[in-house]
Amino acid sequence: MSLRRSASAPTSFVYEMREPMGATNNAVYVDSPVDDDTRRARLFQGQLFVFTPCDESRALRDFAVEMITDAFAPHDPLTAQFDMPVEQFVEIFGPLKPRFIHHPKTMELMRALLSKLGCSMEETYLDVPRLRGVTSDAYLTAGVGYAHPLHRDTWWSAPMAQLNWWMPLYEIESESSMAFHPRYWAEGVENHSEEFNYYEWNATGRAEAAKYIHEDTRKQPHPPADIERDPQIRLIPPQAGLIVFSGAQMHSTVPNTSGRSRFSIDFRTVNIADLQAGRSAPNADSHPLGTSLRDFRRMSDLAEMPAEVVAKYDSGLPEGDDAVLVFQPSGS
């Protein structure tokens, strides 16, 4: 594996290889100066990009941390799980997630960050940023604290041209990070994505997340057995750093054993020129119904994704009244 790192990258950035990979085509680019077209092309090939903190990412991080701190006061958010029953934690964190998503300042900060990183405001479409909390020592593993096992976002009806951006809000360790599993970039696995319907998920799965506290029984795509995790890559950027990867990349949440809750922001983008031209990552094993493209809004003016582009990628229009094309969380 090739790990590429710019001379300006700070010493606090860590990458960890869990097992030697031998000769591969995978690379990690740190603070790469390439333009967005080149970056997207490399991400569609399975490469990973990391950006160390900038003023714009710190501003987004500071805003999110302020909201988290206020919500959990007087407790320290990182250790609040040890001061309250899990039901109280859910009562606090559940409503905080949509408050962050729909706060007008959130989108303002997102625009500034993506512009700083070279994304075209006219071509880039953004799904809402999500606030995540992964507690330590299996305190909360369901609903609003669900930690995803090995998966691709494309199993959940994400477009193959989707890019994922992930930002830790506090310092993290290997034991509270994400893992990437490059062996499965081109190797498909059984996952039941063919049974997943995005519009049914909007109607029930997402809407009922806060109901699941001790066990998460929502029907979601997943490998039927625990597949081989190694080799794996764990990237540990500083707080307000960013990891960028393809939505088709196999990744997982590392079981948090750090003794502190992990809070992060993640968001997804697509470039309309890629969608129109059919440029994307290869599809190894994703066969869900529906598409999440209606969730994306143009960065310049928040315009909806054009209907003709959505239609090109929609594999399962809903037939009944129960299906929901675009999820709207309560309190939005």
Q: What pLDDT score does 217 carry?
A: 52
Structure tokens of 324?
């929901």
Under 8 Å between Cβ of 269 and 124: yes
Which sequence spans correspond to the domains of the chain?
2-313
> What is the share, in percent, of the chain residues with pLDDT greater than 70?
82
Q: Which residue did the predictor score with more confidence, 332 or 166? A: 166
- DSSP state string for 207-254: TTGGG-SS---------SS-----S-EEEEPPTT-EEEEETTS-EEEP
- How many other C-beta atoms lie within 10 A of the C-beta of residue 265? 23
For 261-315, write each residue's pLDDT tens digit.
Answer: 999 999 999 999 999 999 999 999 999 999 999 999 999 999 999 999 999 999 8
- Residue 199 in 3-state DSSP? helix
> Using CA atoms, how far apart are residues 195 and 165, in angstroms rounded to an integer?
27
Contacts of the segment 305-312: beta carbons below 8 A, 24+ positions apart: 305/125, 305/272, 306/272, 309/272, 309/275, 309/276, 312/275
pLDDT tens digits, 214-246: 544 557 788 877 788 889 999 999 999 999 999
* pLDDT of amino acid 228: 87
- pLDDT at position 318 is 61
* 2-313: CATH number: 2.60.120
Question: What pLDDT, in 10s, does the model give residues 15-36?
Answer: 555 554 443 457 899 999 999 9
Reported as a single tens digit per residue, the pLDDT across 274-284 is: 999 999 999 99
| pLDDT for 100 | 95
Which two structure tokens, joined as six digits, stand for 266? 């993640």
* 3-class state of residue 173 by DSSP: coil
CA distance 58 to 13: 16
DSSP line for 72-141: HTTS-TTTGGGTS-HHHHHHHHHHHHHHHHH-HHHHHHHHHHHHHTT--TTTEEEPPPEEEEE-STTS--
pLDDT at residue 150, as a whole number: 87
